[in-house]
Amino acid sequence: MTLDRFYPIFDDVAWLQRMLPLGVKLVQLRVKDQPDQIVAQQIAQARDLCREYGATLVINDYWQAAIDAGCDWVHLGQEDLDDADIPAIRRAGIKLGLSTHDHEELHRALALDPDYVALGPVYPTKLKQMKWHQQGLEKLSEWKGLVGDIPLVAIGGMSVERAAGAFEAGADIVSAVTDITWNDAPENRLREWVVATR
């Protein structure tokens, strides 16, 4: 199964309710700082919505909740890998996406046979403070050479206007967060993304 080239990330299932009808086919639910019960509810709702709209759902971080909910994909950051039970995730038949920022992290990720690798932040990002300021398009090209056939996700400071450059540099998928959620007209912006990536 080929993943869609456009990969928005949302922090609440309410966003999925708004955006899935507009043609999103690959989406990440990244719930932060919520009690387990709320996380489980969000994941279950997101799973059902994505099934209804024929979209691939990726759960950020909460791998055990994803297993419990019968989800298909999990995304883990490097710090998540420290306590994630990768064999349990794989036994559950769940596909795995991993964040990388430098060669050491990429080496660690590739050893786990991931189903996609993300590199970020490609551009400076407003969303979270990181020690990596800006990876740049050259690093995307280098990463694509290293990951080979594994899908490569470009994330961090991505916008509709920057998507083409990321694809040209070697990204298979472009991920966006604030370019949609901080936009004055998120639905319109999302439609622009769909047009730009299909």
What count of other Cβ atoms lies within 10 Å of the Cβ of residue 84? 18
Tell me the one-letter amino acid at 170.
Answer: G
In this predicted structure, the answer to whether residue 130 has a pLDDT above a threshold of 80 is no
Residue 131: pLDDT band with limits 50, 70, 90? low
Task: Work out the mean pLDDT of the chain and round it to a whole number.
Answer: 95
Burial class (CB in 10 A: 0-12, 13-18, 19+), 110: middle
In this predicted structure, the answer to whether residue 124 has a pLDDT above a threshold of 90 is no
Structure token pair of residue 126: 């407003």
pLDDT value at position 134? 85
Per-domain residue ranges of the chain: 6-193
pLDDT value at position 113? 97
pLDDT value at position 125? 77
What are 182-194's pLDDT values in tens digits?
999 999 999 999 9
What are 25-37's pLDDT values in tens digits?
999 999 999 999 9
Question: Once rounded to an integer, what is the mean pLDDT over residues 32-46?
Answer: 97
The CATH code of domain 6-193 reads: 3.20.20.70
